[in-house]
Structure 1
Amino acid sequence: MESSRLFSIILFLYTTVLSISSINCTENNNLITNQAALFVFGDSLFDAGNYKYINSSSAFQSNFFPYGQTTFKFPTGRVSDGRLITDFIAENAWLPLIPPNLQPSNGNSQFTYGANFAYGGAGALVETNPGMVRDLGTQLNSFKNVVRSLKSALGEAEANKIFSRAVYLFNIGGNDLVYPLVANSSLFQSNTKENFVDFVIGNTTSVVKEVYKIGGRKYGFLNMGAYECAPAISILDTTNIGSCSKPVAELIYLYNKKFPDALRRLQRELSGFRYALHDYHTSLLERINNPSKYGFKVGNMGCCGSGPFRGINTCGNRMGQSYELCENINDYLFFDSSHLTEKAHRQIAELIWSGPPNVTRPYNLKTLFQLN
């Protein structure tokens, strides 16, 4: 307990000192950082707390115990027991933790380091979880508001330096692929599966092009993780509880086959476009199938939840339902029915940050942050 409290104090001091030391105050009191900023887009894998500021009672909410207990000692809106992949990326880049964009205390001094627009339950399509989330297009509009704010505060030239040096990190599409299979949706009825996947990728690359127009040149992406084997998905087929979902796996396979081609097209079309693509499907599936190899005891079951494999999303008495909590979080790959533990996030973040080309290609994020 004492060591955990000491760690929290050190983390706070680190962030505070870093925030002060990395700022130059110009004569008009605008705050300019010397570091490449990090702007984050996506879904619950990356959401640092945006969801809690709008939807307090939704099934996607995680602003209650036991979420956040490992590092922060209180729920932050992150769908994990602690830090996310994006938090570890920020730490590796010597940035303070990037706050959720909707945090009321945000100002231009924070935005010069970046902002997190990710939103739990979000998709690239507006038809995914409609009325409950902020889709990728809405996240883009929020980013454009930050762009206007920084240009007003810093001037066009200084703001443009921030946007051209920044790294833009995306994880989106998982909810789009799963939603039509678990909800009463007509998204598949008028499209082939190939065309549907093309729509998801097309909406994503359209947003990337808009960010590029603003000045973004360096991007990080994850391909689609092995969600077909997540506890929540593995219990959908009541005749084969615990097995990976073939319908979800088929869609993910199509996505992961097509998405790298889309990024290569962007690289040909957009001068100066550079990217890192992490093979998240392989890194996650490896840990699900071989947990002990990566320091876990359990790879196919949630630490927090109820039902078979704790695959029912009741963690923290969500929606008023009871739940179970494992004794040792570090034994588990999954914290709840669909989301990973901080320990797992740290491992994945390291692969994205400094992984070799067979894991993250053609660049890794460490290289992108170093590129001018």
Structure 2
Amino acid sequence: MSQLSLVLVLTLALIPSQWSWGIRKIDGIYAQPSEMNYAPPRWNVPAMYIFGDSTADSGNNNELRTIARANFPPYGRDFDSRHASGRFSNGKMTSDWINDLLRLPLAPPYLSRESRMFPFQGANFASAGAGILNNTGNVLGEKISGWQQIELFLERRNGLIATMGVDAASKHLRDSILYFATGGNDYIHNWITNDTDAALLPNNEFNTLLLTTFENQLQVLYYAGARKAAVLGIGPVGCAPHFLWQTNTTTGDCLESVNEYVSEFNDGLREMLVRFNQQNRGAHFEYRDCFDVIYRMVKFPFNYGFSNGNTACCGVGNYGGGDRCLSPMMVCDNPPLNFWWDEYHPSHLANNFVARQLWSGVDPSTTTRNSTSTALYSFLTIQQLAALQLTGD
């Protein structure tokens, strides 16, 4: 059986068949990246392929029928182009900063014209509202679900094979880095809000469902040729201004019950990735912790140059968490001093801090004890992943 046939068989076996697709591929908006202020060594990484939710969506939702969009001012006011490209930030997202550290052009949203014009430049499949589960975020409208993002990656892979040939395409995918920022919406727009039948499950069973589904998705990507991946844990969503507003807190403290739920998912994700890398030859799917660094910035904002860590710069109501950022009139006086840009998403500068931690920071939580032995497995940083030289297997 050929390599491509094997991937297609596995994909049909693992990807659910009941979808509400509804994606219209029309021209999108794409802004060119800026240079970093220093010149790191050239990394052996030809492209980034980005999967996830609104923390990584660079404009795919511009082309969908959804309320989860950020293609209007004041979003993008501090981006390179000063244009609202569809990013849920006043500027760059964490994945954009990682692109810069790799000295790569920003991966264009897959549904954009630029993605078709520059197929070797990587691609961003992330979609605001999406989660690991297909029905997560349905209340917001159309989105590219986790499984649909996998299918689009396979579509791009097949295009690369047709253009470059099997050997060159295999090397391209083997050396590229996949970036995952997903799972948060499975809590925010599913389990916590009781939006689906899966939300009726106890937290441990819901986490098992998420992790099993996500492992199946990663397995398809591995069989398709992916070998390097940075897999972000879920951040402390209980610290988001929306939950502070929703619970009507007077202290401004994080909703720790929500943070405990996602921390349990993160623990399971580390263990799953340990097992995944051990069971799949040549796989380097590395856990990267963003929970701890974001939590520290939220709790001790002055240590990082922020004036506060609990109030959105653009929003209404207590902590700016009562509604979305809808107008330039809603923007705070000094955006760089706020960790949060809107009710769910960090600011341009906050994302830079997070990216640098993911890039080279080593945190104790990135070392995981294997559940079947006493051996320790230390996950690579993205910088180490970029420097890794792999051969065909």
Query: Which TM-score band (shorter chain)?
Result: 0.7 to 0.9
Runs of 5+ consecutive residues of structure 2 not aligned to the other structure: 1-31, 367-377
Q: Distance in 1 between matches of 2:176 and 2:34?
A: 24
Which moved further from structure 2: 59-68 or 178-187? 178-187
- 2:175 maps to 165
Which aligned pairs between 1:12-161 and structure 2 lie closer than 5 A? 35-55=45-65, 58-71=66-79, 72-107=81-116, 110-130=118-138, 131-161=141-171
Inter-CA distance 257–149: structure 2 relative to 1 (3 Å threshold): same
User: Matched residue of 2:179: which SS?
Assistant: strand
- Residue 178 (structure 1) shift: 2.1
Q: Distance in 1 between matches of 2:317 and 2:33?
A: 38
AA partner of residue 338 (structure 2): Y
- Residue 198 (structure 1) shift: 1.1
AA partner of residue 116 (structure 1): N
Q: Distance in 2 between matches of 1:289 and 1:209?
A: 37
What TM-score, normalized to structure 1? 0.85
What TM-score, normalized to structure 2? 0.81
- Residue 99 (structure 1) shift: 0.8
Inter-CA distance 266–259: structure 2 relative to 1 (3 Å threshold): same
Is the counterpart of residue 176 in structure 1 residue 186 in structure 2? yes
User: Matched residue of 2:364: which SS?
Assistant: coil
Inter-CA distance 13–166: structure 2 relative to 1 (3 Å threshold): closer
Q: Distance in 2 between matches of 1:264 and 1:295?
A: 35
Deviations 1:302-348 (A, max 9, x none): 0001000000233124xxxx962101111000000000111011111
Q: Distance in 2 between matches of 1:83 and 1:314?
A: 18
Is residue 110–residue 124 contact of structure 2 (8 Å, CA) maintained in 1?
A: yes
Q: Distance in 2 between matches of 1:354 and 1:91?
A: 14
Q: Distance in 2 between matches of 1:347 and 1:359?
A: 18
- Residue 202 (structure 1) shift: 1.5
- 1:296 maps to 306
Runs of 5+ consecutive residues of structure 1 not aligned to the other structure: 1-10, 23-32
- Residue 183 (structure 1) shift: 4.7
Q: Distance in 1 between matches of 2:45 and 2:291?
A: 31
AA partner of residue 362 (structure 1): F
- 2:380 maps to 363
Is residue 115–residue 123 contact of structure 2 (8 Å, CA) maintained in 1?
A: no
Inter-CA distance 357–247: structure 2 relative to 1 (3 Å threshold): closer
- Residue 14 (structure 1) shift: 5.3
Q: Distance in 2 between matches of 1:253 and 1:354?
A: 22
Q: Distance in 2 between matches of 1:134 and 1:221?
A: 18
- Residue 196 (structure 1) shift: 0.5
Q: Distance in 2 between matches of 1:238 and 1:357?
A: 33
- Residue 127 (structure 1) shift: 1.9
Is residue 298–residue 339 contact of structure 2 (8 Å, CA) maintained in 1?
A: yes
AA partner of residue 88 (structure 2): V
Deviations 1:28-73 (A, max 9, x none): xxxxx97432111001111111111223xx3311100000001221
- 1:341 maps to 347
- Residue 246 (structure 1) shift: 4.2
User: Matched residue of 2:294: which SS?
Assistant: helix
- Residue 257 (structure 1) shift: 1.8
User: Matched residue of 1:299: which SS?
Assistant: strand
RMSD between aligned residues: 2.3
Aligned residues: 339
Give the percent of matched residue pairs that are identical in Structure 1 and Structure 2. 27
Which aligned pairs between 1:182-197 and structure 2 lie closer than 5 A? 182-189=193-200, 191-197=201-207
* 2:321 aligned to which of 311, 315, 323: 311
* 1:271 aligned to which of 264, 281, 298: 281
User: Matched residue of 1:119: which SS?
Assistant: coil
- 2:358 maps to 352
- Residue 244 (structure 1) shift: 2.5
Point out 4+ residue stretches in structure 1 off by more than 6 angstroms. none
